[in-house]
Amino acid sequence: MALPERKQSVTEARLAGLEIPRGGCTEPAREAALARLWQMGLPTRRDEYWKYTRPETLIQPQPPRAALLRTDEPPMFDAFDRLKIVFVDGVFDPQASDDLALEGVRIERIADLCEQDIHWARDLYGVLEARGHEPVPRPLAAFNTAFAGDGVVIHVTGRPSRPINLIYRHESEASDAVLHHLVRVEEGAEATILENGPAAARFNKCMEIDIADGGRLHLVRTQGRDHERRAATHVFARLGRESMLKCFTLTVNGVLTRNEVVVEFTGDEAVAHVAGACVGDGDFHHDDTVFVTHDAVGCESRQVFKKVLRNGATGVFQGKILVREGAQKTDGYQISQALLLDGDSQFLAKPELEIYADDVACSHGSTSGAIDEEALFYLRSRGVPEGEATDLLTLAFLAEAMDEIEDPALAEEIAGRVRGWLARHR
Amino acid sequence: MAALDNNEVKEGVDKETVDAVREVGGAYKYGWETEIEMEYAPKGVNEDIVRLISEKNGEPDWMTEWRLQAFRRWEKMEEPKWAMVHYPEIDFQDQYYYARPKSMEEKPKSLDEVDPKLLATYEKLGIPLKEQMILAGVEGAEAAPAEGRRVAVDAVFDSVSVGTTFQEELKKAGVIFCSISEAIREHPELVKKYLGSVVPPTDNFYATLNSAVFSDGSFVYVPPGVRCPMELSTYFRINAENTGQFERTLIIADKGSYVSYLEGCTAPKRDTAQLHAAVVEIVILEDAEVKYSTVQNWYPGDEEGRGGIYNFVTKRADCRGDRSRVMWTQVETGSAVTWKYPSCILRGNESQGEFYSIAITNNYQQADTGTKMIHLGANTRSRIVSKGISAGHAQNTYRGLVSMHPKAKGARNYTQCDSLLIGDKCGAHTVPYIEVRNNSARVEHEATTSKVDEDQLFYCRSRGMDEEEAVALVVNGFCKDVLQALPMEFAMEAQQLVAISLEGSVG
């Protein structure tokens, strides 16, 4: 079917002059992704799926410029013993990165796959992304698979002693980064991946995660603090029997962020928790779009999303739990909440359930409102100054999402950043 | 169910439930047809048909023009596809848009002149068109003790209103209750002012089609300060084959008035699907209150999903005045496909909207239903309680919008939608949209999906109930919040319907 005119023209404009990276085992997947992209077209405001977020600046040929943030705040996770992999404006920086050798995990560059014809990653690159277009197309992810210039392949075979930290530095005001990562967690293996940094003026990132039976992955991401940056990220995860994925994202500032997480249970008794906290001020638009598909028996999914918004900031949540026929004993939970610190901010949500199995317990909740005046009054009557009391209540509001981080030290690191943000924006 | 008659009523079983289950012996019991000579407009829809309908209703030119404009608009519109319902493409030119009993050619001056066959039809449906103490819509109501509650009925048969009861008595109170065709002729100033002011002729595909071809429907005007002395009711019956029913209801509650309005509907069993596309508009001024209750029991199609009514309905209430209130209550058990979102525009400050819904789908039925609460005024409040029950191969979707506009300071919404699945071949879905654009507004949304509670079923079974009885009881409990919101007459019927709709879904 031909694309609507508007879609056709924005897609043509974006793809004009772009060439997919040639060679190696990713080329067929890149070509297939490009063909998919031409078929679905890039998003426009008319797409139901983009009802609450304007995609224009994410798909225009050149990204809007984004001023760099100079801060003396120490980099995130600085105090942690971790393996650093640094990308500057979307390009791997070997000097700034650590040696990629670590027991229990093998790490390679996506760019290197372009020189290898045979590699296990060819069975993963673009595969989960391609599965993720039902029922709605995610053209920015297909774009990513086709054009990603860099990224890493993380093959977890044991239990690495240190977390792997992907660090994204933003140094050019006009950078347009496209990164694609692959993560394969083998049977019984377990790893923690950290991600942080503003990345680029415009950042398109895709991570495909394949977790084998009994594998476990912790993914802790922070996005910030550059204010003018834009980002569209996708996580596609497939979970085998009795495996586990815990994904948490903190977003601080950013003029536009769209984080999509697509989780598919293919093995029984697996667990996936996807959580997010965001704090935004002023010209801030943050969109969490989550899609969890239960296609196995006895799996548990949790979606916990909390947004603190002020000064005209906008928070969006689109979440869905799909339980396929036969996915009995599913336990699906979803909560999305917004704390609106002033009258100009807004929260737009579409929390969905689509259920085709009868022996399930699925629920979702969504609330939005101002800070609890009674709780504020109580704290003030105990001598806590208003600003501090507001911060305390805000932190308490975000706690449920941050509780999804298993490692207490990491959770404290995240909470510290939120406290810092609140103190600066009091 | 037949086995029930041979069983003793067990101790501890709610007698009402057993009676309800017993009452509904067979499956769809309104599936018979009235053999009556009909007069049809030619098949299909075009400007001539629109003019013809307007002429049959004896309408003034402005009304004909209004319809034609809607029709021209409709021709350029596309059928909406976003609902989670699937049905074969509808050929809008392959059906009749106007069908009326020959005997209605000259509108009878009073009920005494109405064709006895028509009166018998309503009698058989449990809606005697007599001005006596009656309980509307309740099967077996004749046997029930009359409690002095009276209900005025406007009976619509295919494309025309057959008659309206208690008109004289209502007139004494200043209430106008008549068919919309009569209102266009007798009260053009009111119709002109309000028709299309809540659901504009350009609103959506089906509402626009309705604006062009609506043949009849009910009109209610309650003057300032008047509490309508009885409940008003419209009963819609589709009888003719291959005929769409397009009725239009307009209710105006002037300042400080109150009215409770009931709506019921049935159709004969047929193998081919039939279209029903209605529009209901309600205007509520300062301090007025309207309760609108529906028991929708159109023919749902057979066990294989053949036939049934396609029910594409636009219902909207506009709370224009401060402190105005509207309450929608619906029990949706019929129709092969339902597409219906009774909505509230809460424009007046402190106005209030409520939506209580039970949607039951069985066999191959599909329902995509819910509400919209548009909060525009300060301190407006809304409450949504939706219970969806799915059995057999049916699909049941709640779709709703809660929108808090920047000026809706201090507004509140509470939404609860629960789904119950009976069997592993059906589906239950929830698609809420929540848009909050000011921080003094508080929105709470909760939804759950589960199966019939095993412990509750086990308890009922251990008290000697058979499985179907037990399910009916548990389901009635699940629907309690909504059933309680219904007027008494409807609550009784609704309870029966819950049992009937789930028949055969167990085991």
pLDDT single digits (tens) B264-278: 888 888 888 889 999
Predicted pLDDT of residue B506? 59
Closest chain A C-alpha to B423 CA, distance in angstroms: 6
**Cα–Cα dist A219/A233, whole Å:** 14
**Cα–Cα dist B366/B334, whole Å:** 10
| CA B286 distance to own-chain centroid | 25
**Cα–Cα dist B317/B243, whole Å:** 28
Q: Are A208 and A129 in contact (CB under 8 A)?
A: yes
Predicted pLDDT of residue B505? 63
Predicted pLDDT of residue B11? 45
Predicted pLDDT of residue B296? 85
Query: Cα–Cα distances in Å, from A346 out to A280, A418, B152, B408, B416?
Result: 11, 20, 46, 13, 22
Which SS3 state, helix, strand or coil, does residue B263 take?
strand
Q: Is the pLDDT of residue B14 over 60?
A: no
Q: Does B173 touch chain A (CB under 8 A)?
A: no
- Asked if B427's CB is within 8 angstroms of A350's CB, the reply is no
- Asked if A363's CB is within 8 angstroms of B447's CB, the reply is yes
User: DSSP string of B105-171?
Assistant: SSPPSSGGGS-HHHHHHHHHTT---SSSS--TT-TTGGGSPP-S--EEEEEEETTEEEEETTHHHHH
Q: Which residue of A has its CA nearest to B427?
A: A356
Nearest CB neighbour to B443, from listed A48, A341, A368: A368
Neighbours of A13 (CB within 10 A): 12
**Cα–Cα dist B2/A425, whole Å:** 71
pLDDT, one tens digit per residue, over B154-197 is 888 888 888 788 888 899 999 999 999 999 999 999 999 999 99
- Could you identify the residue written with the tokens 């064709």? B115
- Looking at beta carbons, which residues of chain A come within 8 Å of B451? 358-360
- Asked if B449's CB is within 8 angstroms of A355's CB, the reply is yes
Q: Are A48 and B81 in contact (CB under 8 A)?
A: no
- Asked if A365's CB is within 8 angstroms of B445's CB, the reply is yes
Q: Is the pLDDT of residue B138 over 60?
A: no
Which amino acid is present at B458? F
Nearest CB neighbour to B450, from listed A350, A361, A368: A361
Q: Does B439 touch chain A (CB under 8 A)?
A: yes
- Looking at beta carbons, which residues of chain A come within 8 Å of B419? 353, 355
- Asked if A351's CB is within 8 angstroms of B432's CB, the reply is yes
- Could you identify the residue written with the tokens 């530095």? A169
State phi, psi for A231 to the nearest 5 degrees. Answer: -145, 140
Closest chain B C-alpha to A291 CA, distance in angstroms: 13
**Cα–Cα dist B423/A106, whole Å:** 47
How many Cβ pairs closer than 8 A exist between chain A and B? 116
Nearest CB neighbour to B444, from listed A359, A362, A367: A367
**Cα–Cα dist B415/B372, whole Å:** 11
Lowest mean pLDDT among B16-20, B27-31, B355-359: B16-20
- Looking at beta carbons, which residues of chain A come within 8 Å of B81? none
Predicted pLDDT of residue B130? 67
**Cα–Cα dist A409/A219, whole Å:** 14
Predicted pLDDT of residue B501? 67
* pLDDT band (50, 70, 90) for residue B26: very low
Which SS3 state, helix, strand or coil, does residue B416 take?
strand
Strand residue runs (E) in A146-229: 152-156, 164-169, 176-185, 190-196, 202-211, 216-223
Q: Which of A47, A366, A376 is best to mutate for the B interface (most B CBs within 10 A)?
A: A366
Closest chain A C-alpha to B445 CA, distance in angstroms: 5
* pLDDT band (50, 70, 90) for residue B149: low
* pLDDT band (50, 70, 90) for residue B65: very high
Q: State the pairing for strand pair B99-101/B38-40.
A: antiparallel
The whole-number average pLDDT for the span B140-158 is 62
**Cα–Cα dist B252/B195, whole Å:** 10
**Cα–Cα dist B214/A41, whole Å:** 40
Specify which residues B256 forms β-bridges with: none
pLDDT, one tens digit per residue, over B284-339 is 999 999 999 988 888 888 888 888 899 999 999 999 999 999 999 988 888 899 99
- Looking at beta carbons, which residues of chain B come within 8 Å of A341? 439
Helix (H) or strand (E) holding A416: helix A408-424
Q: Does B242 touch chain A (CB under 8 A)?
A: no
- Asked if A354's CB is within 8 angstroms of B427's CB, the reply is yes
Q: Is the pLDDT of residue B492 over 70?
A: yes
Predicted pLDDT of residue A117? 83
Q: Is the pLDDT of residue B93 over 60?
A: yes
| ∠ CA A72-A77-A79, rounded to 5° | 85
Share of chain A above pLDDT 90, in %: 88
**Cα–Cα dist A91/A179, whole Å:** 8
- Asked if B448's CB is within 8 angstroms of A362's CB, the reply is yes
Query: Cα–Cα distances in Å, from A128 out to A65, A215, B230?
Result: 32, 17, 62
Q: Are A415 and A391 in contact (CB under 8 A)?
A: no
- Looking at beta carbons, which residues of chain A come within 8 Å of B449? 353, 355, 360-363
Q: Which residue of B has its CA nearest to A359?
A: B451
Instruction: Please report the ipTM that was assigned to this predicted complex.
Output: 0.88
Q: Does A308 touch chain B (CB under 8 A)?
A: no
Q: Which pair of tokens denotes residue A264?
A: 């598919």
Nearest CB neighbour to B451, from listed A48, A342, A359: A359
Q: Does B423 touch chain A (CB under 8 A)?
A: yes
Task: Enumerate residues 7 to 66 of chain A having a beta carbon within 8 A of any beta carbon in chain B.
Answer: 48
Closest chain A C-alpha to B492 CA, distance in angstroms: 28
- Asked if A369's CB is within 8 angstroms of B445's CB, the reply is no
- Asked if A338's CB is within 8 angstroms of B432's CB, the reply is no
Task: Enumerate residues 349 to 378 of chain A having a beta carbon within 8 A of any beta carbon in chain B.
Answer: 349-370
Q: Are B265 and B334 in contact (CB under 8 A)?
A: yes
Q: Which residues of chain A have pLDDT under 70?
A: 1
pLDDT, one tens digit per residue, over B188-211 is 999 999 999 999 999 999 999 999
